[in-house]
Amino acid sequence: MSKVEYFIGGGGDKSALMGAGPTEIMKFVRNYRQRTSVGIQCEYRGYEDRQQILEEIKKNWKSKAFKSIRLTGHSWGGQAALDLTQDLFLSNIPVDELITLDPVSLWPFGKVVAGKWVNVYQKQSFWDSTIGAVPILGNALSALITLPSALHDSSDYIANVGGQLGSENGAYNIEVEFPHSGAQKMYERARAEMINAPTNPKAIGAI
């Protein structure tokens, strides 16, 4: 197939992390996409497979096996998708659609160029958007406030420690109240809104 979409999981998704997982959250999202679409090759990977994904795409782009590329990443996989989009841009390989699902990163600095970029993120609390915006220390302090409770599940706590990025410059942003683990609901929302996303969103920073 000439169209491909990579579904990139975060920590503990494709492989266990610190004794937790694998949850295979993005495998379920990939399977959903396969069931509901035609003519798109769907691949499931983890954030730790970033270099492998890059080499696969370069090889298949050169051979013309891939003619349209889409990247969807959740949690740390969201940051991996952002990094891959820029890696590919610098290799003159365009990413037609980028979807980030509540992306997480301790060092959220970068620039992105994609045909369309939809970012679905979990609603941020006051603490998330203030002290939580400070890498590492701020993440840890903010996470203490979102310990698992009736309002927050364990995935929210873990994501908060990891550094949820929230609204992103250059993206078509959608705020939701799903738990961090609700990647499929986020993806369904992103797909429904893709038509409304502007084409060729402005890059973050100078290219």
Residues in the chain: 207
Token digits of residue 115: 């045909």
Q: Domain count of the chain? A: 1
- DSSP class of residue 104 equals B
Domain membership of residue 154 (yes or no) is: no
Domain that holds residue 15: 3-123+164-196
Task: Report the chain's mean pLDDT, rounded to a whole number.
Answer: 82
Residue 3, strand partner residues: 68
Distance from chain centroid for Cα 6: 11
Q: How far apart are CA 29 and CA 24, in angstroms?
A: 9
Note the pLDDT of residue 148. 47
Domain membership of residue 142 (yes or no) is: no
- DSSP class of residue 195 equals G
**pTM to 2 decimals?**
0.82
- β-pairing, 116-122 vs 41-46, is unpaired
Q: How far apart are CA 54 and CA 163, in angstroms?
A: 24
Domain membership of residue 159 (yes or no) is: no
Q: For 13-24, how does the pLDDT look when each residue is reduced to its tens digit (9 = 90+)?
A: 999 887 777 999
